[in-house]
């Protein structure tokens, strides 16, 4: 097993904890699997991490539907005036999209 795969599963534990999931003893089990160089065990543990749901005490809400998003947003203006040209707006959106695409491509295992 390559070291990069070991690194990613450790980062996934941190990610799941930040998303409000209780990872319990997975940290220790992952370290044991890494030390024993057990790829099958790591795959199983990664699947367990992937299946975790945030705990009920996790207060952060991230809705998925437009209706849920609108229900949680604060009162305020719904349209903002732009002081840039359409061309500048296009360049900013395009640049942001390219940066995100590059970051997603380079930051995750393929």
Domain layout of the chain by residue ranges: 1-72, 81-110
Closest CA to 24 of 56, 61, 58, 49: 49
Instruction: Supply the pLDDT for residue 1.
Output: 46
pLDDT band at residue 88 under the 50/70/90 scheme: very high
Q: What is the mean pLDDT of residues 65-93?
A: 90
Report whether pLDDT(52) > 80: yes
Contacts for 101-110 with beta carbons within 8 Å, 24 or more apart?
Answer: 109/4, 109/5, 109/8
């Amino acid at each position: 097993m390559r070291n990069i795969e070991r690194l990613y599963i450790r980062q996934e534990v941190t990610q799941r904890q930040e998303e409000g999931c209780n990872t319990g003893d997975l940290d220790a089990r992952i370290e044991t699997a890494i030390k024993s160089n057990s790829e099958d065990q790591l795959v199983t543990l990664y699947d367990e991490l992937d299946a975790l749901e945030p705990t009920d005490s996790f207060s952060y809400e991230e809705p998925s539907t437009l209706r849920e998003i609108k229900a949680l947003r604060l009162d305020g203006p719904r349209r903002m005036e732009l002081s840039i040209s359409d061309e500048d707006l296009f360049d900013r959106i395009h640049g942001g999209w390219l940066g995100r695409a590059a970051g997603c491509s380079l930051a995750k295992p393929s």
